[in-house]
């Protein structure tokens, strides 16, 4: 049964809004999703919907945008000077393509991702929202395997070995 500190293996399809909505992601048995339940790395409502299930259980549930990746925040869309994209004296035009997702560093040096919305003469309009912000999620899937996590997995907060992290 899925409880805290269990390693869970699942397949799933993620759709927008409901089962008939656009397919966002599909995880198949040949490359399943393996995670440490209760480690805090997943959407809380995702885990709540899987808790207590057993191997062979099917699942189907929705998560509203506000409880998933949040609503779209207009303040997270901003203009950045084009000079930010000058590397070794050359403008990195290959990055500045509409809908391209680029990696940047904030003032604290943390990696942030942004989607290019518009490129003008002197600035670039970037969207720093999560790609799934404002999207209602709908999951369907199956529980393939459940096992006890090792002490090392629990202390590290993630799965090791097949389907997990390799040190």
Asked whether residue 31 carries a pLDDT value surpassing 90, the answer given is yes
Residue of 50, 10, 44 lying closest to 27 (CA atoms): 10
Residue of 87, 111, 91 lying closest to 101 (CA atoms): 111
Confidence of residue 105 (pLDDT cuts 50, 70, 90): confident
Asked whether residue 95 carries a pLDDT value surpassing 80, the answer given is yes
Which pLDDT does position 163 carry in this prediction?
60
Asked whether residue 107 carries a pLDDT value surpassing 90, the answer given is no
Asked whether residue 99 carries a pLDDT value surpassing 70, the answer given is yes
**CATH 2.40.10 domain extents, the chain:** 74-127
Contact present, 37 and 3 (Cβ < 8 Å): yes
Which pLDDT does position 165 carry in this prediction?
55
**CATH 3.10.50.40 domain extents, the chain:** 6-69+133-156
The third-level CATH classification (topology) of the domain covering 6-69+133-156 is Chitinase A; domain 3 (3.10.50)
pLDDT tens track for 110-139: 899 999 999 999 999 999 999 999 999 999
Asked whether residue 167 carries a pLDDT value surpassing 70, the answer given is no
Give the three-state DSSP class for 30: coil
- Bridge partners of 33? 10
Q: Does domain 74-127 bear CATH number 2.60.120?
A: no
């Amino acid at each position: 049964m899925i409880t805290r500190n269990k390693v869970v293996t699942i397949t799933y399809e993620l759709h927008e809004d409901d089962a008939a909505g656009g397919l966002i992601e599909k995880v198949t048995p040949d490359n399943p999703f393996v995670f440490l339940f209760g480690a805090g790395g997943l959407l809380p409502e995702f885990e709540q919907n899987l808790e207590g299930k057993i191997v062979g259980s099917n699942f189907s549930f929705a998560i509203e945008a506000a409880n998933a990746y949040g609503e779209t925040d207009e303040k997270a869309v901003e203009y950045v000077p084009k000079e930010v994209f000058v590397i070794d004296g050359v403008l990195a035009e290959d990055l500045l393509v509409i809908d391209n997702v680029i990696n940047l560093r904030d003032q604290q040096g943390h990696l942030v991702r942004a989607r290019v919305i518009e490129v003008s003469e002197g600035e670039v309009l970037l969207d720093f929202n999560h790609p799934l912000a404002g999207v209602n999620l709908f999951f369907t899937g199956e529980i393939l395997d459940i096992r006890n996590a090792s002490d090392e997995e629990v202390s590290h907060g993630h799965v090791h070995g097949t389907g997990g992290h390799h040190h």
